Amino acid sequence: MARRVSGRSHGDLRTADTRAKVKDDYRPSRDEILRYIAENPDRSGKRDIAKAFALRGEDRIWLKDVLRDLQDEGLLTKERKRLARVGALPHVAVLDIFGRDADGVLLAHPTEALGNGEPPVIAIRVSRGGGGPTPGIGDRVLAKTFPTDDVTGPAYTGRVMKIFEKRTDAVLGVFRVLQDGTFRIEPVERRQPELVVDKEFQNGAKNGDLVEVEPARASRYGLPRAKVLAVLGSLTSEKAVSMIAIHAHDIPHIFPADVIAEAEAVKPATLAGREDWRDLPLVTIDPADAKDHDDAVFALSDPDEKNPGGVVVTVAIADVAAYIRYGAALDREALKRGNSVYFPDRVVPMLPERISNDLCSLREGQDRPALAVRMTFSADGRKLRHSFHRIMMKSAAKLAYPQAQAAIDGAPDDKTGPILDTVLKPLWDAYAVLKRGRDTRQPLELELPERKILLKEDGTVDRVVVPERLDAHKLIEEFMIQANVAAAETLEAKRQALVYRIHDAPSLAKQESLREFLQTLGLSLARGAQMRPNQFNGILDRVRGADHEGLVNEVVLRTQMQAEYSPSNIGHFGLNLRRYAHFTSPIRRYADLIVHRGLIAALGFGAGGLTQDEAERLEEVSALISATERRAMAAERDTVDRLIAAYLAERVDDHFDARISGVTKSGLFVQLPQYGADGFIPVSSLDGDYYIYDETARSLFGERTGKGYQLADRVEVRLIEVAPMAGAMRFEMLTDPKPLPGSKRSFHKAKGRARASQSRPGSRGRRR
């Protein structure tokens, strides 16, 4: 009879009594394995599971096969080096508390969706002693989660670690005065309804103001009503569009008075306890519009005769830890923000300007404290050794990427000319060496051009450009990667706690989905072991220059997992590195500040090192800064969508060249390559056939003709409708469907769903 596995703890499963009861031929059932993994999320590696069930020898080989089958069936997924139930909550998660049960227990949902199903319910535990945080309904919290045995109640319990900014039922909108004198709230979210405001609830709002409103209970007739709680700014002013995203995503953007006071009181660092490197001609190379400079570089040929063709590369990074001490007001605010947020029209910095743009910015010709790493590479690009130093430096030159590149390409100016032979050429020679190592390592190489929005003085869009990718960009990028690797290696060697930058390999389920998709294009992908980045690169090389090159790059990107921060290392799949930590941008990322503090503590560099209390909180901090990073990305993306939608609002009925960027049962998402803007074509507006969703081929194809549309297809579309403040655009398809090889003819339930989604005659063009 199979032994029942308790979820109480790893130790409970491995007592002498338990082991004595296990027969030599005992093997747990699949259900027991799944149950153990669900109940022990922090002890769910293969070794942990084998120990829990006292499996040895051939039984461990059997277990490996069972776990692989469970992954292939989609019941398990691999997260870092641990296994997890598909759709299961991570051990530390961000939750939104939405209500109470009949006994008054707080209930929460995960902030981020886990899949397509209903989100799990978490019962929040509140400390009886009153020592921990006291959450309430509407709060967003960081919590440790624990699965329960209750089949009728919440699937998890949660212990609150931190309460984020208090949330309310308020929503954002734009206050509009209509011609008849009535007031409306124009929505800024795509699914938000329009609201009516009565005059007594205007609260001083004027036409065009961005406002926070409290919706009233919807009536049976007419639009729902609301009252204005606060006026946040006017959309007629600069930077108003990014302000919508700042408020919608709860991004802290105003520094409290005590934080500003603390920043203003900081005194510049001195040479005491530092090596004097002010004579070394380190230079900064950044975007032309950069306001702060947190990294500087220098390189030369290795003078050691035992390393012919080798180079010595130095990377110096602003010593932010010299000014931001753990637990101080500046530190608490920086952790709350997690990172700087970059919008086309503004930056919301992690640190006040006194720190970020002054004391910690490596300004040309001014003394600045820094942490530096000196790395020696062989001629084939292998790192032989490195060492860290706490220094005082003086930047020899502030350069922009195009400026440095132009000098190397034969067009130096007054600043780059004098340092061309002594500084710039040795940097490019060193990059050529490091590139050999990169080519050997073979990180993932996706061809996905990035677009930049250029604004006019009034904050509206001037044009959208694709900046040229220069060797100057690649040089700095590779130097920073190597410095990050060196930081992780040093901290590991010193057994110092740190926050890694991790990137897991694609799950087996995603690999299988990619394999099926590639088969539709006549491309094969080997089954079996986990893929490596060079295998993805091989696929990308095979389609380079082909019509479906963009399509394959897009699908390979969507196969990848999301990078995050963690005190547990699983390596970085995309960069193909075993250990990696963010070290090079402490002005704008809290993760880098933690790594700096770790280096200071581990290497005995003096004040500002990582404290024991901080080291014990790294799991909580990692979850928090991973969440703030995702928050920043969403806010930046929303702002770009709104800016482009406003820019194109006057071009309704115009035709555009587009590319299909997403395919769903509901319709097609299209992107305008010239602008980087996204819009939607409802499936109900596609004429001439019933369209079926083929998930494998990422396509919609006609039931009758087999013709349709596929991800990355180039099409012509007409702009039908724009909601600028919501950043939403709706298009009409003008390109005829094309034959799709391998389109499925076995529709099953998808057929019925597709039929139901088609509109009645005359519904073409209606907003869904």
Q: Where are the beta strands (DSSP E) in 452-496?
A: 452-455, 461-465
CB atoms within 10 A of CB 251: 21
Confidence band for 118, pLDDT divided at 50, 70 and 90: low
| Range in 45-54, 320-329, 396-405, 674-683 the model is least confident about | 45-54
* Residues 57-65, mean pLDDT to the nearest whole number: 84
DSSP string for 750-762: HHHHHHHHSPPTT
- Kindly report, residue by residue over 657-694, the tens digit of the pLDDT: 998 888 999 999 998 888 878 899 999 999 889 999 99
- Report if residue 519 sits inside a domain: yes
Asked if residue 751 has pLDDT above 50, the reply is no
Three-state SS at 112: coil
- The answer to whether 529 touches 709, Cβ cutoff 8 Å, is no
- Report if residue 641 sits inside a domain: no
Whether residue 196 is found in the same domain as residue 107: no
- Of residues 749 and 68, more confidence is placed in 68
Asked if residue 495 has pLDDT above 50, the reply is yes
- Report if residue 647 sits inside a domain: no
DSSP string for 565-595: EESS---BTTTTBS-----S-TTTBHHHHHH
Among the candidates 136, 163, 190, a domain finishes at 163
- Kindly report, residue by residue over 423-434, the tens digit of the pLDDT: 999 999 999 999
- The answer to whether 529 touches 626, Cβ cutoff 8 Å, is no
Where residue 157 sits, what CATH number does that domain have?
2.40.50
| Range in 74-88, 292-306, 432-446 the model is least confident about | 74-88
Confidence band for 188, pLDDT divided at 50, 70 and 90: confident
Terminal-to-terminal C-alpha distance of the chain: 56
Q: What is the pLDDT of residue 218?
A: 62
Whether residue 263 is found in the same domain as residue 397: yes
Write the secondary structure of 210-242 as one string of H (helix), E (strand) and C (coil). EEEEEECCCCCCCCCEEEEEEEEEECCCCCHHH
Question: What is d(CA 124, CA 138) in angstroms, rounded to the nearest whole number?
Answer: 13
Question: What is d(CA 367, CA 361) in angstroms, rounded to the nearest whole number?
Answer: 10
Q: What is the pLDDT of residue 20?
A: 38
Share of the chain above pLDDT 70, in %: 86
* Residues 202-210, mean pLDDT to the nearest whole number: 88
Q: What is the pLDDT of residue 697?
A: 83
How is residue 454 written in tokens?
Answer: 């250029």
Three-state SS at 274: coil
**β-strand partners of 315:** 297, 373
- Report if residue 205 sits inside a domain: yes
What lies within 8 Å, CB to CB, of 700 at 6+ separation is 663, 667, 668, 683, 686, 691, 692, 693, 694, 708, 709
Question: Using CB atoms within 10 A of its CB, is residue 730 exposed (0-12), middle (13-18) or buried (19+)?
Answer: buried
Whether residue 56 is found in the same domain as residue 149: no
Where residue 736 sits, what CATH number does that domain have?
2.40.50.140
Residue 700 sits at the vertex; the CA angle it makes with 697 and 701, to the nearest 5 degrees, is: 100
- Report if residue 415 sits inside a domain: yes
**Where is 472: in which H helix or E strand?**
helix 471-493
- Of residues 341 and 156, more confidence is placed in 341
Whether residue 480 is found in the same domain as residue 626: yes
Confidence band for 396, pLDDT divided at 50, 70 and 90: very high
CB atoms within 10 A of CB 214: 15
**β-strand partners of 76:** 85
* Residues 258-280, mean pLDDT to the nearest whole number: 96
Whether residue 461 is found in the same domain as residue 398: yes
Whether residue 553 is found in the same domain as residue 601: no
- Report if residue 768 sits inside a domain: no
Q: What is the pLDDT of residue 667?
A: 94
Torsion over CA: 613, 619, 622, 626 (sign): negative
Q: If phi over 0 gives left and psi between -120 and 50 gives alpha, with beta otherwise, what is residue 754? A: alpha
- Report if residue 64 sits inside a domain: yes
Q: What is the pLDDT of residue 21?
A: 40
- Kindly report, residue by residue over 288-338, the tens digit of the pLDDT: 888 889 999 999 999 999 999 999 999 999 999 999 999 999 999 999 999
Whether residue 457 is found in the same domain as residue 422: yes
Asked if residue 31 has pLDDT above 80, the reply is no
DSSP class of residue 433 equals H
Indicate the angle between helix axes 471-493 and 590-602, nearest 10 degrees.
50
- The answer to whether 188 touches 161, Cβ cutoff 8 Å, is no
- The answer to whether 365 touches 661, Cβ cutoff 8 Å, is no
- Kindly report, residue by residue over 408-426, the tens digit of the pLDDT: 999 999 999 999 999 999 9
- The answer to whether 89 touches 76, Cβ cutoff 8 Å, is no
Question: What is d(CA 573, CA 505) in angstroms, rounded to the nearest whole number?
Answer: 5
Give the CA distances from residue 509 to residues 44, 69, 531, in Å, rounded to whole numbers and listed in that order: 19, 11, 12
- The answer to whether 278 touches 393, Cβ cutoff 8 Å, is yes
DSSP string for 703-719: TTT-EEEETT-EEEEEE
Confidence band for 528, pLDDT divided at 50, 70 and 90: low
Asked if residue 518 has pLDDT above 80, the reply is yes
Asked if residue 761 has pLDDT above 50, the reply is no
What lies within 8 Å, CB to CB, of 182 at 6+ separation is 196
Whether residue 677 is found in the same domain as residue 737: yes
Among the candidates 163, 183, 202, a domain finishes at 163
Asked if residue 745 has pLDDT above 50, the reply is no
What lies within 8 Å, CB to CB, of 127 at 6+ separation is none
Confidence band for 187, pLDDT divided at 50, 70 and 90: confident
- Report if residue 51 sits inside a domain: yes
Q: pTM to 2 decimals?
A: 0.77
Whether residue 470 is found in the same domain as residue 613: yes
Average confidence score pLDDT of the chain? 84
What is the tally of structural domains in the chain? 6
Where residue 203 sits, what CATH number does that domain have?
2.40.50.700
Whether residue 668 is found in the same domain as residue 718: yes
Q: What is the pLDDT of residue 643?
A: 87
Share of the chain above pLDDT 90, in %: 46
* Residues 34-57, mean pLDDT to the nearest whole number: 79
- The answer to whether 250 touches 170, Cβ cutoff 8 Å, is no
* Residues 535-557, mean pLDDT to the nearest whole number: 85
Q: What is the pLDDT of residue 254?
A: 86
What lies within 8 Å, CB to CB, of 422 at 6+ separation is 281
Confidence band for 87, pLDDT divided at 50, 70 and 90: low
Asked if residue 756 has pLDDT above 60, the reply is no
Asked if residue 357 has pLDDT above 80, the reply is yes
Whether residue 384 is found in the same domain as residue 283: yes
Whether residue 422 is found in the same domain as residue 448: yes
Question: What is d(CA 434, CA 429) in angstroms, rounded to the nearest whole number?
Answer: 9
User: 148 is in which domain, residue-wise?
Assistant: 92-163
Q: Where are the beta strands (DSSP E) in 154-293?
A: 156-163, 171-177, 183-187, 195-197, 209-215, 225-234, 275-276, 283-286
Among the candidates 85, 119, 146, a domain finishes at 85
- Of residues 620 and 10, more confidence is placed in 620
What lies within 8 Å, CB to CB, of 297 at 6+ separation is 282, 283, 284, 285, 313, 314, 315, 316, 427, 475, 476, 479
Q: What is the pLDDT of residue 13?
A: 40
| Range in 148-152, 236-240, 446-450, 549-553 the model is least confident about | 236-240
